[in-house]
Amino acid sequence: MDIWSPEKRSAVMARIRGRDTKPELIVRSLLHRAGVRFSLRRKDLPGKPDIVLPKYGAVVFVHGCFWHRHKGCKVATMPKSRQAFWQAKFAGNTARDARQEQALVDAGWRPVVIWECETADPARLATIIRGRVMPAVEPEPVR
């Protein structure tokens, strides 16, 4: 059973943002300080990626560990109430993520996922970005 009334739960859930989240702002700030230029949420791309890096042919999704089910992460817990609802919700989220990533690959982009928990340590995040977003390959032409 939920500890809050349906009205309170609705108000809490309505405050969860889908864009300009703290983890996303951290990643964008790090990229900007590194001199990397990017665009945000291009509507012409599948899934409206959080960050688009045309120079590198990459798109970045900054996923919340809970909502997108980061495997092995302590934040990706299963709520104790309404488990059937949450299982269906999470299965739908991960299936949609997979479809969007495949559509981006088919369109010639390289999708990169940065997890919320990976943004906690700036040094580790910088290493992750260098390894996943800007690998040691020639950048693709601007689209």
Q: Is residue 135 part of a domain?
A: no
Q: Is residue 2 part of a domain?
A: no
Would you state the pLDDT for residue 137?
Answer: 47
Beta strands in 45-129 (DSSP E): 51-53, 58-63, 110-115
Q: Is residue 74 part of a domain?
A: yes
Would you state the pLDDT for residue 59?
Answer: 94
Q: Could you tell me the residue range of the domain that residue 87 belongs to?
A: 18-130
Number of domains in the chain: 1
Integer Cα distance of 141 and 143 in angstroms = 6
Q: Is residue 10 part of a domain?
A: no
Read off the CATH number of the domain in which 84 is found: 3.40.960.10
Token look-up 């009205």 returns 7
Q: Is residue 69 part of a domain?
A: yes
- Stretch 53-70: mean pLDDT: 90
For residues 110 and 56, the answer to whether their CB atoms sit within 8 Å is yes
Percent of the chain with pLDDT over 90: 44
Q: Is 32 exposed, middle or buried (0-12, 13-18, 19+ CB in 10 A)?
A: exposed
Q: Is residue 45 part of a domain?
A: yes
Q: Is residue 136 part of a domain?
A: no
pTM of the model: 0.79
Q: Is residue 137 part of a domain?
A: no
Percent of the chain with pLDDT over 70: 93
Asked if pLDDT for residue 136 goes beyond 60, the answer is no
